[in-house]
């Protein structure tokens, strides 16, 4: 369904399941992924309601979310708008071409349970303390994944408050799971809880609460 930016409603503004042969999905497996990363990708992908290669419908509670190099490309007609507005701009987490160097991640969304999980493998260019991930990179991923969940539940939203508690440093090259869940929605406000854990969930690295506020998509364009 086509609509102008001024008439798009909050849900259709972010095309929930946009798949296009013209767009590169940066959350597909690549050679930099560790066996653990691939193992958990296969685990969740097997439970998806759409085959990510053939796009055939399946039965499953999860949906793999595509990841493009600009958020605007998720909007209806976004691939064309991207060429007109700051054409050289790139999503921060998708701005480095070297595979495995920075943010390797893939997210899955469960609409019924209103949760989102993300597999994250931090690369060597994200170092803070020696051998460990910079806290700002972890905050970036928390903001990215919780923002994705808020967008799918409430339409276009911006971060209003991000509160993080760092429990333990994340080793570079490890694989962690970012768990996000809807806490509540109050008018234009969407409250999301989040935690970052080891893949077996025995260790909690980070916990966070995030508040998002719904906006009109047109406000981003002045």
In a domain, 39, yes or no: yes
21: three-class secondary structure by DSSP: coil
117 in a domain, yes or no? yes
Worst-scoring range by mean pLDDT, 15-24, 36-45, 163-172?
Answer: 15-24
Q: What is the mean pLDDT of residues 110-126?
A: 96
Considering 25, 42, 143, 200, which one is annotated as catalytic?
Answer: 143
Band (24; pLDDT cuts 50, 70, 90): confident
Residue 165 lies in a domain: yes
Is residue 55 included in any domain, yes or no? no
Sign of CA dihedral 74, 75, 76, 80: negative
Q: Residue 113 belongs to what domain range?
A: 35-48+100-219
d(CA 94, CA 90): 7
Question: Is there a contact between 152 and 114 (Cβ–Cβ < 8 Å)?
Answer: no
Q: Is the pLDDT of residue 50 over 80?
A: no
Dihedral of the alpha carbons of 107, 104, 141, 194, in degrees to the nearest 10: 50
**Does 173 reside within a domain?**
yes
41 falls within a domain: yes
Q: Report if residue 15 sits inside a domain.
A: no
What was the pLDDT predicted at 221? 57
Return the ∠ at Cα 140 (arms to 137 and 144), rounded to 5°: 145
143 belongs to the catalytic site? yes
Q: What is the percent of the chain with per-residue pLDDT over 70, rounded to a whole number?
A: 73
User: Can you give the pTM of this predicted structure?
Assistant: 0.81
Whether 73 shows a pLDDT value over 90: the answer reads no
- For the chain, give the mean pLDDT: 83
Q: Tell me the CATH number at 194.
A: 3.10.129.10
Nearest-angstrom CA–CA distance, 72 and 83? 10
For residue 180, is it within any domain?
yes
pLDDT for the residue numbered 31: 97
Which pLDDT tens digit goes with each residue over 96-115? 889 999 999 999 999 999 99
Give me the number of domains the chain comprises. 1
């Amino acid at each position: 369904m086509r609509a102008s930016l001024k008439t798009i409603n909050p849900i259709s503004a972010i095309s929930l399941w946009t798949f296009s042969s013209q767009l590169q999905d940066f959350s597909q497996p690549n050679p930099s992924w560790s066996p653990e990363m691939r193992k958990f990708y296969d685990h969740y992908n097997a439970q998806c309601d759409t085959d990510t290669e053939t796009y055939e419908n399946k039965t499953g509670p999860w949906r793999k979310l595509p990841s493009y190099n600009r958020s605007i490309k998720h909007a209806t007609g976004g691939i064309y708008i991207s060429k007109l507005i700051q054409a050289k701009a790139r999503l921060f987490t998708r701005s480095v071409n070297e595979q495995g160097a920075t943010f390797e991640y893939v997210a899955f969304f469960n609409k019924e349970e209103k949760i989102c999980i993300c597999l994250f493998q931090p690369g060597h260019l994200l170092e803070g303390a020696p051998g460990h991930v910079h806290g700002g990179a972890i905050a970036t991923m928390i903001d990215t994944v919780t923002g994705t969940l808020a967008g799918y539940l409430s339409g276009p939203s911006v971060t209003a408050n991000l509160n993080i508690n760092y429990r333990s440093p994340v080793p570079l090259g490890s694989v962690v799971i970012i768990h996000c869940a809807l806490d509540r929605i109050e008018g234009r406000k969407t409250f999301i809880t989040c935690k970052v854990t080891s893949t077996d969930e025995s260790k909690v690295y980070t916990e966070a609460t995030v508040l998002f506020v719904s906006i009109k998509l047109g406000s981003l364009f002045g």
